[in-house]
Amino acid sequence: MLELKRHPVKIAHLNLRTEKHGDEDVNALDIKITFDLPNTRLNDIAAGLRESLYEASSDPDLLGPDGDHLTHLRYPQLGKEGKFPWIDEWSSVGFHLHTGNGRGKGDLLWVESTFGQLVVQPKEGGTCSCVARAQVLPTPDETAKLASLLKHDVPASTDMSKAVTTDPKNARKQAARDDDDDED
């Protein structure tokens, strides 16, 4: 699972919507974030993912021959738009935007969010550009603060200690079955 610790992310898009929680309508917000990671973090998503996408350069640079220094794209045929989606979603994720005074006051923190729709774009040199979505249930004040952060860089952290991996396709199918059962 991909854990972030005060990692800079850009708030790229916000989608305010309503969710049904029983008979009650609840405001929900999809937060689209973008960020770059070193390719060493790919193995946090899946063991061996980095090695499947990168290889050591045949022309050693200043670091010398280092077998763990994988910066050359294994498949440059993927081109500049060689990105791929990661199907898993993680629920029960703590999502923290460090927007306050550095001591936690004024920060935005959700202890139960869903993190997913991860898209990874491996780049030559060992950097991966990522896009992801965090789904939260904000208060009106949190929604207003998030709106002011749109298109800005913010340090973010994810707490994956209680996270559960879910397959979003199965979750949607189960929700549809549950809705059909409620109508009976």
What is the reported pLDDT for 158? 95
- Give the number of other Cβ atoms within 10 Å of residue 182's Cβ: 7
pLDDT bin (cut points 50, 70, 90) of residue 3 is very high
Please state, in angstroms and rounded to a whole number, the distance separating the CA atoms of residues 129 and 118. 10
104's tokens: 């936690």
**N-to-C CA span, the chain:** 38
- 122 closest CA partner among 153, 63, 78, 67: 78
What is the reported pLDDT for 1? 74
C-alpha distances out from residue 33 to 66, 110, 113, 144, Å:
33, 15, 14, 17
Q: What average pLDDT does the chain have?
A: 86
* φ and ψ at residue 4, rounded to 5 degrees: -110, 140
pLDDT bin (cut points 50, 70, 90) of residue 81 is confident
Which residues lie below 8 Å from residue 171, measured CB to CB, with a gap of 6+?
89
What is the reported pLDDT for 57? 76
Please determine, for residue 184, whether its predicted confidence score (pLDDT) is greater than 80.
no
Please determine, for residue 133, whether its predicted confidence score (pLDDT) is greater than 90.
yes
Tokens 């979750």 found at = 171
pLDDT exceeding 90 applies to what percent of the chain?
65
- C-beta separation of 164 from 91 below 8 A: yes
- 166 closest CA partner among 86, 89, 93: 89
Sign of the torsion formed by the C-alpha atoms of 166, 167, 168 and 174? negative
Each residue's pLDDT tens digit, 7-51: 999 999 999 999 999 999 999 999 999 999 999 999 999 999 999
